[in-house]
Structure 1
């Protein structure tokens, strides 16, 4: 029998990022739990994504660097959480190719720092509190590398074979979490998810990048021939899954979370163009069709061809399944960007201008 962790404080590290903010919103809007959002607020952290829940008495925010163990330990003593959800990560593949050092520091050293602070805190708890405590590490399907053929799926037993500095750093952090669980007994759980999409997504990623470039009449650059296949997971479905795992998952287990929506990159881009023809028919001057903006560019180094997740374990053991199909989720996503121009304009008015760090060539990122 799986034991459900009772209502309590959840530490959500990187709760102002894309997935983290969705988790925070879900917990505040759909449960009675409290959330402490801890975020350094780097370029992709945006407190405006939490405006709807920021006034809740069950929501707290602390601006702290993941690598500052002393500050994190003070917060553990201050809030006395039941669970820590570790979402903090540098997650942009192309940025990791341009500058891998930040990925090593945040994803590997930062995870070590959190594990050590959490281990000290966990040991200080009484027996009942230690039994309830969970350290939930949120990871990615990219640690598994590339799939061959069209029938294979990533399972929780798939060997790791990361291809990029980003995925290698996440694989390293996964190994650290498992080691702290086995060596020290820290009650850890790991989840590996497929590509997320949905509202509040930072504009350098594939789907928001295409939407906003199309609306601006800019080119829609696609790596290679666009044949790379990804499984797409609506972020609000992912948030539900993460809460299910942290409250009902078995200590020491890994759960793959997927959307059951495999699409080639070019299909994703063409679907967005079709939706914009319907939902935003008034185009920038000189544009006849959004699809005319599609441009194929040189592929990036080490680009994996296909990711696809077998999510049967979380379905069978925890009764979670995605609610959104790609067709329903992408429609909601495009409509959200059309209706929330203030949010993304505030992002674009900052340091990011729809181009990849370190290069003049715009690129579509997964």
Structure 2
């Protein structure tokens, strides 16, 4: 039977549900496009409590994590959140995740919901001889994301938390309803926003989490803030060019192939998978990830073939209709030489070859949308 989050009862009768990673989650509330545009133009609220949350603690916590992940957590200061990867010895991605450095002996790690059990087992494998503990706190906390240009205003007005001074990928510890809250300036939409992990909330004790959700919705009404489901979360992250594990990232793909080598700290002494990444950065890779914008009305989807002159040169990993561009967009793995030399390819959309231009993400104009916006 699918799990539910502690917030489920607040929206179960107001959303259309879907099953994802073993959870019953909201796919949409009023509609994917309406929710998508609310986030781009105002703000949206997401229940992302299905994401796994681990605590890594102990004298060797910093050294232990540094061997497992691709960034250098030792050089980060307390209060820093870092996007990174767990990789296997062959260099492929076990998961992408965010580490939160509470101190050199205490970290929170947020992993993908579908990989929660696998990641816990993988991390546990490397604990021998280390003064470190690993605890899964997913079922004893909730994670609420507020995303969009009005996010800081909404969090301040609804929760009484002054967050405008928090820098991107930084976090602070706060309190709400008597419980500890990790408030980070992070997100999965391409927009400015915050993710708030409320500790001590569970299915048996959901009240504080539900109060936070309701307060955000109530105060956000005057700005047109919307509750958002996984449907809008997916279209937003594709539009921003953000990868999804199981699509752009997997055990058979490396961060170098996914053009995410900026999250590999090659100056570290070692991490699992580093020799393979070093070789790929030096010699190149056979395939690489690109963005595609369709010419015409076609909407590409995962697994559709990508062609050049009648020859298949790749495949779509994620595709959707972009509410901002009003066009079909996609991310795809293609032959690296094709990505270097060509500007236009074709996507096989249900048997019809549709032209698509190679376009570096994000797909929207970053001067008008996203956390870097200037207008």
What TM bracket, shorter-length normalisation? Answer: under 0.3
Tell me which protein shows more strand as a share of its residues: 2
TM-score by length of 2: 0.23
Tell me which protein shows more helix as a share of its residues: 1
